[in-house]
Structure 1
Amino acid sequence: MKGQVLVFDPLKGEGIISGQDGERYSFQGSDWRGEAGPPRAGQQVDFAASGSAAAEVFPMLGANPIAEAFGPGHKSPIVAGLLALFLGSLGIHKFYLGYTTQGVILLVSTFMSYLLTLVLIGIIPLMIIGLICLIEAIIYLTKSEADFNATYVQNQKPWF
């Protein structure tokens, strides 16, 4: 049967597939037969249904095998970490991860702090923004790709 992965928790090794018949099927990571990493939400799959469980879950490759291998919405922790490290005060890493509001907050805060440096009180907010971005860069760069995507892409955790 064909279906789509609704969710997969790499930490628990469990997921749910929505079958083409409208039913939902649970599956274990041990049932995954893909070679390009763990299953991702939104990924099209072919599986054997056994009651309310799915077994022998195979990814269905589409026209773009690179996108299929990494899944929809895949973001790189290395790219996010480097953006936070070098362009963090402008919020570029937040825009990259899809957190527009947080990106705008960083961008506006940075510009306001630069304006306040004219009266010498803007240096403190700039140092705080820099520290936040440094901490985020370290967190992003030290997480595994699966943990990073589970935390910041699928679960949408905007800060730290």
Structure 2
Amino acid sequence: MRYCFSFLLTVFILVGLPSLICGQDGPEDIPYNDCGGSDSSQMASVRLTGCEEDKICEIKMGDELTLKVKWNTYQAAIIKLKSKLEVQFFMGFKKEVDVSPIDACQYLKCPLSKNTQVQYAANFTVPTQGILPGEGRIWWKGFAETEEDPFLCVNFQVKILP
């Protein structure tokens, strides 16, 4: 009995305690709207650093964040993939935000195969100029060829803090 208790205590110290001290291991899937795209892919999940499931994400101007989008491909092959991110704020105004890498094929192995699940991580900094604090949305779009017709599009609600 004594050895069992020692073992359980050791497991808690090694596994459970760091989680209690540091919080969650990573971001959780957040609610999002699928805003269109092609029939060649379907969104599976969206995550943003510092955000929790079922809550409006609070982001601070100047924060460096990572957006992770996961989707399933149904098209034969996607050779090129460009990423675009916009922050929408007061009365629908949008500001384009630089993402890294903008060419997702620097991060992924392109061409993307048919019937696979793909995950892309876009790093960006919340602008400190050109936007206003308050309720807003983040829009992410993936383009295979031109910026006129995205094959993936998601957006989700955020609260922008000064």
TM-score normalized with structure 2 length: 0.23
Q: Whose relative contact order is higher, 1 or 2, with alpha carbons under 8 Å and at least 6 apart?
A: 2
Higher strand share: 2
Larger radius of gyration: 1
Q: TM-score, normalised by structure 1?
A: 0.23
